[in-house]
Amino acid sequence: EPPGLARLSPGAPPQAPDLLYADGLRAYAAGAWAPAVALLREALRSQAALGRARRDCGARCAAEPGAALPAVLLDAPDSGPGPAQGAWERHHLHLISQTEALRSLCPYRTPSKGVWRLRDGQVFQMVSGQFLLCVWNGKLKKLDLAAAAAHTFFVANPTHLQMREDMAKYRRMSRVRPQSFRDLETPPYWAAYDDGLELLGRQEAGLALPRLEEALQESLAQVESCRAGCEGPEEQQREEEEEEGTGGQGGLYETIAGHWIRVLQCRQRCVGDTATRPGRSFPVPDFLPSQLRRLHEAHAQVGNLSQAMENVLSVLLFYPEDEAAKKALNQYQAQLGEPRPGLGPREDIRQFILRSLGEKRQLYYAMEHLGTSFKDPDSWTPAAVIPEALREKLREDQEKRPWDHEPPQPKPLTHWKDVLLLEGVTLTQDARQLNGSERAVLDGLLTPAECGLLLQLAKDAAEAGARSGYRGRRSPHTPHERFEGLTVLKAAQLARAGAVGSQGAKLLLEVSERVRTLTQAYFSPERPLHLSFTHLVCRSAIEGEQEQRMDLSHPVHADNCVLDPDTGECWREPPAYTYRDYSGLLYLNDDFHGGDLFFTEPNALTVTAQVRPRCGRLVAFSSGGENPHGVWAVTRGRRCALALWHTWAPEHREQEWTEAKELLKEPEEEEEEEEEEEETPSRDPSPEPPSRRLQRVQDRVGKPPRVREEL
């Protein structure tokens, strides 16, 4: 056991969680598993206690306005070099400093500096404490806790590949019960809300009510807790600014006002934060109204009409024009008979809305007069709260809003203008956006009709295979998916035999050439690339085997070398296809669940970028160790893509491509050629030089291959 570890004594007040965490890590490094687990659990416990203490203190501050103000703050406003402050600012400052002064009395306000640092986005580290916990617990044979910790970590970090594997291992262990996979950090309001909904579904409104009420109370408490935590990161940010010499220049007023605005912005985000969690979310931004709706319905079902009224009136506080709520209100009023003047919305919700609107007013004021920004997370904010001068601009922004979540606007590849083929193709993400060096996502390579034709080809080929006794086999990568692969030559042979349409087979060839041209133009304009292998691959989820899948559709790998995740090295030697230089994946559909492509760091663990397949989308990247990649499990439906690999080495050019091309020639073309050959018999004293024939084939390949409009 390393020296100087924090002492843990039951019942003692919580210690700074970051220090406990650091000690836990030291214990781990020394292999002292038992103290490591104890310290980490204590770190998590004290982190939670800290949150509660802040929340309670915050509530006390709000309840006791008007404490004495430090004179320095009140005297200060004019001392700064900023613009002269008017009465509003003075008043504002007064309010701010009042709250600030009070808050400074809160416990944990000035604990070890590191606590703030911990709060600053390092929750992940705390969660990774869970991760380490599970490793240690595995060693300590506390498997139940290990599985729960692993599950907890995994819910928060679903792309963590190491944990995915560990989870799979725990699931295979017969001693770990399914109930062990519980989320230690699921907020209680979620469990309560889920229970409430389930009971409502079973027409058990009476039992549902206490659970739904608990969910609402707990969510409001969680929002409070989040609000109370809004000062830590800001505090740190200010410290850093000061260290960098960027802070403190605008005078005390600017510093405090800036701080206050950041606090308000943070508080406004709290409902959203409470409503969201990786892997699970309430309908945001309707988090509170949606709970109130369930509540009024449940109360009405059990005949609590006055409570049904209170809840529906609360919904109307958010959305005064909500038709369904207005209708329900009328109905409840009619059922109640005599008017009840004393009945109003719930007090907790009324207070919540009043406070939130007060904050929004201040934020909009600052936006209008101090030039700060504020993105209102709520859709229920009444227009009257927004200053006239800002409304027009915000409305425009709102209209743009759906694009906020879309990938960056594709830019046309103007510098490839000379490549006629590229008409309609756009660059959606470049290497920088994909966090790599040689990676790109291009869209618009196929029309929907072309995708349809290639999907049909894959389907017909699979059926032809099934008829000849070849069943779609299990994927080589996972037992939970079927895998069908079709090469260009096989497609051409099947077309020749009439088993698949020749249009699809021809398109397959044409499209692969389209991808090659693009890949070369983008990554290797100076040095020709050749196709070395083209494969139309479909992966289908096997029904009934998709519950809690932990495996991948395609494990992380690099395409031209053997990846060693431990060292991050990639060995360019067999069995890898070492001659592959650039990879391309051209997707044909998106009507399946899961199946996104992802890139990782060379450790094969940290996901650096993800791409959702869709018709006509090409992901192209260099095939080496700089681009380890994999595919998330396909859990429903069928995912089809054209996988292509390019090489600089002409000797590795795909022979089958040329054979397929020959096979697919139309009879007239062949006749034409035969005729020509007859015209120039080999006996001819001046035979056509071989290059001429090659030229003709190339002409055909090179004739505007854009069949898109014709399809």
Nearer to Fe ion, 147 or 620 (CB): 620
Judged by CB under 6 A, which of 559, 594, 622, 660 binds ligand AKG? Answer: 559
Alpha-carbon span 551 to 530, nearest angstrom? 34
Question: Strand 593-594 and strand 634-636: pairing?
Answer: antiparallel
Tell me how far, at minimum, the Cβ of 585 lies from ligand AKG, in Å: 4
Out of ligand AKG, Fe ion, none, which partner does residue 484 contact, by CB within 5 to 8 A per kind? none
Tell me how far, at minimum, the Cβ of 645 lies from Fe ion, in Å: 9
Out of ligand AKG, Fe ion, none, which partner does residue 133 contact, by CB within 5 to 8 A per kind? none
Q: Is 460 in the site for Fe ion (CB under 5 A)?
A: no
Judged by CB under 6 A, which of 135, 427, 455, 585 binds ligand AKG? Answer: 585
Size of the site for Fe ion (CB under 5 A): 1
Question: Which run of H or of E encompasses 490?
Answer: helix 488-496
Cβ-contact 560, 504 below 8 angstroms? no
Tell me how far, at minimum, the Cβ of 92 lies from Fe ion, in Å: 58
Rounded to 10 deg, the angle between the 347-369 and 388-404 helix axes is 100
Out of Fe ion, ligand AKG, none, which partner does residue 262 contact, by CB within 5 to 8 A per kind? none
Nearer to ligand AKG, 360 or 629 (CB): 629
Region binding Fe ion by CB under 5 A among candidate stretches 197-205, 335-343, 559-567, 596-604: 559-567
Nearer to ligand AKG, 559 or 581 (CB): 559
Alpha-carbon span 451 to 616, nearest angstrom? 7
Q: Is 643 in the site for ligand AKG (CB under 6 A)?
A: yes
Cβ-contact 698, 658 below 8 angstroms? no
Alpha-carbon span 242 to 262, nearest angstrom? 16
Q: What is the 3-state secondary structure (H, E, C) of 22-78?
A: HHHHHHHHCCCHHHHHHHHHHHHHHHHHHHHHHHHHHHHHHHCCCCCCCHHHHHCHH
Tell me how far, at minimum, the Cβ of 631 lies from Fe ion, in Å: 8
Out of ligand AKG, Fe ion, none, which partner does residue 453 contact, by CB within 5 to 8 A per kind? none
Nearer to ligand AKG, 212 or 634 (CB): 634
Expressed in angstroms, the distance from the first to the final Cα of the chain is: 72
Tell me how far, at minimum, the Cβ of 521 lies from Fe ion, in Å: 22
Size of the site for ligand AKG (CB under 6 A): 8
Nearer to ligand AKG, 249 or 435 (CB): 435
Judged by CB under 5 A, which of 254, 310, 484, 559 binds Fe ion? Answer: 559
Tell me how far, at minimum, the Cβ of 508 lies from ligand AKG, in Å: 16
Judged by CB under 6 A, which of 119, 629, 638, 646 binds ligand AKG? Answer: 629
* Cis amide leading into 602 (omega within 30): no
Phi, psi of 632 (to 5 degrees): -65, 155
Tell me how far, at minimum, the Cβ of 127 lies from ligand AKG, in Å: 29
Catalytic (active site) residue 639: yes
Alpha-carbon span 601 to 624, nearest angstrom? 12
**N residues, the chain:** 711
* Cis amide leading into 285 (omega within 30): yes
Closest among 136, 133, 174, 172 to 153, alpha carbons compared: 133
Out of Fe ion, ligand AKG, none, which partner does residue 227 contact, by CB within 5 to 8 A per kind? none
Cβ-contact 219, 274 below 8 angstroms? yes
Region binding Fe ion by CB under 5 A among candidate stretches 257-265, 407-415, 498-506, 551-559: 551-559
Chain residues 255-294 in contact with Fe ion, contact rule CB under 5 A? none
Nearer to Fe ion, 226 or 570 (CB): 570
Alpha-carbon span 144 to 150, nearest angstrom? 10
Alpha-carbon span 222 to 340, nearest angstrom? 33
How far apart, in Å, are the Cα atoms of 93 and each of 71, 508, 680?
12, 69, 97
Alpha-carbon span 672 to 664, nearest angstrom? 14
Q: Is 641 in the site for ligand AKG (CB under 6 A)?
A: yes
Q: Is 554 in the site for ligand AKG (CB under 6 A)?
A: yes
Q: Is 254 in the site for Fe ion (CB under 5 A)?
A: no
Tell me how far, at minimum, the Cβ of 539 lies from ligand AKG, in Å: 7
Alpha-carbon span 530 to 574, nearest angstrom? 20
Choosing from 639, 683, 693, 706, which is the catalytic residue?
A: 639
Nearer to Fe ion, 189 or 533 (CB): 533
Q: Which residues bind ligand AKG (CB under 6 A)?
A: 554, 559, 585, 597, 629, 631, 641, 643
Q: Which residues bind Fe ion (CB under 5 A)?
A: 559
Q: Tell me which residues are annotated as active site.
A: 639
